[in-house]
Structure 1
Amino acid sequence: MKVVLIDEAPGLGIAGDVREVKDGYARNFLFPKGLAVLATPQELARADSRKKAEIERRTKLNLEMESVGERLAEERLLIAVRVGPGGRLYGSVTTTEIAEAVNEAMGVEIDRRAVQLAQPIRELGHHQTPIRLAPDVIPSVTITVYQEGTDPPPLVEETPEEEQEGAETAEATAAEATAEAVDAPEATAEEAEAVETEEEAAEVAEEEAETAAPDEPEAEAPQEDEEESKE
């Protein structure tokens, strides 16, 4: 079935686009949601003007929300929740709550459908969530979910100085390890040579000692015969 989009359809197109879709998709989704109409001759004739108007609208909205998107990307939204045993949330943080937090923090009005949350947040901590302020303005905002009655946890980020210091320490450690690996074979060879020299010196000293020592006289046999004759 051929249809003309009259609003943006995710993954399909924007207003004024002409698309060929399955009958069931058109009747069960596009038509009931007000996203498309049947591509009659009258609608096809209006398609170009409809698309031109849509492009102008999107361009204007992008310009209006660009600065808001830049500020929102640097913002941290705080949402306090009730927590049960084991740190589990009572319920979850939904797109409606996030949209309200954005509206309050930025002074704008966005619909909950602009919050591109894959699934409700059910854990404490920091979460990155895209917010579609305009067709081409989709900043990622940090959402901190924390327990009611407590202080929000800080965002832990390394400063440029800490990152530089960590990099220098890692380089120094690697250099030391490399130097030890290079010097190790030389040290082993020197130790082996020293041991060999000591053994040779010991052998020479032993030979000299044997040469210098006088020969011991042979022990005389006992004169048993003489004693017997005297008796």
Structure 2
Amino acid sequence: MKLILTHEVSGLGAAGDIIEVKDGYGRNYLLPRGLATAWTKGGQKQVDAITKGREVREIKDLDTARNIKGRLESTSVQVPAKSGQSGRLFGAISNGDIAAAVKAAGGPELDKRKIEVKTHIKTLGSYEATVRLHPEVAATLTFEVVSA
């Protein structure tokens, strides 16, 4: 199945890329979430508009991304969550929770789709996440999950 990415998808490409994926992945994951649209001959205009917009943003955002990386890595972030006596959480910490905690700590506003956590967070403690700020810049965010 041939698709046009409308958002950046980790492992596939950036917005405006034309990709070839298996039918089920495209039909059941990418299309319903709005991450891609079906490729057509007329879709080439859409691809050109997306890539032009991306190029304009990337040129001016590289320095900004580096500044945000420095701010993120120096910010102390605590994510409050309900937990039991053993330190096990009632539920799990999502990328949206992490983005909200960064903003509450005085950090920049982050897109939750650009935050990547390696493991499911289900206990109290200290964790790390990677934030993709730019194709060339990725920040490592250290945060602590505390009992609320």
When the two structures are superposed, what TM-score results if normalisation uses the length of structure 2? 0.76
Is the contact made by 1:14 and 1:51 (CA closer than 8 Å) also made in structure 2? no
| Corresponding residue for residue 88 of structure 1 | 87
Is the contact made by 2:16 and 2:50 (CA closer than 8 Å) also made in structure 1? yes
Superposed displacement of residue 136, structure 1: 3.5
Determine helix, strand or coil for the equivalent of 1:141.
Answer: strand
> Is 1:42 aligned with 2:42?
yes
Please give the residue correspondences for 1:145-160 in structure 2 after superposition, counting only pairs within 5 Å.
Answer: 145-147=145-147
| Corresponding residue for residue 102 of structure 1 | 102
| Corresponding residue for residue 2 of structure 1 | 2
Is the contact made by 1:95 and 1:120 (CA closer than 8 Å) also made in structure 2? no
Superposed displacement of residue 73, structure 1: 0.8
Is the contact made by 1:68 and 1:106 (CA closer than 8 Å) also made in structure 2? no
Superposed displacement of residue 70, structure 1: 0.7
* Cα distance in 1 for residues equivalent to 2:56 and 2:2: 25
Superposed displacement of residue 88, structure 1: 2.1
* Cα distance in 2 for residues equivalent to 1:27 and 1:54: 25
Q: Which runs of 5+ in 1 are unaligned?
A: 149-231
> Is 1:57 aligned with 2:75?
no
1:101-152 deviation per Cα after TM superposition (whole angstroms, max 9, x unaligned) = 111223422233333123442333322222233444321122123456xxxx
* Cα distance in 1 for residues equivalent to 2:94 and 2:25: 28
Superposed displacement of residue 11, structure 1: 1.8
| Corresponding residue for residue 25 of structure 2 | 25
Rg larger in 1 or in 2?
1
Alignment size in residue pairs: 147
Across the aligned residues of Structure 1 and Structure 2, the Cα RMSD in angstroms comes to 2.7
Superposed displacement of residue 46, structure 1: 4.5
Alpha carbons of structure 1 residues 61 and 106: separation in structure 2 relative to 1, 3 Å: farther
Q: Higher helix proportion, which one?
A: 1
Letter in 1 for 2:87: R
Superposed displacement of residue 42, structure 1: 1.4
Quote the sequence identity (%): 33
Alpha carbons of structure 1 residues 137 and 18: separation in structure 2 relative to 1, 3 Å: same
| Corresponding residue for residue 14 of structure 2 | 14
When the two structures are superposed, what TM-score results if normalisation uses the length of structure 1? 0.53
Is the contact made by 2:115 and 2:130 (CA closer than 8 Å) also made in structure 1? yes
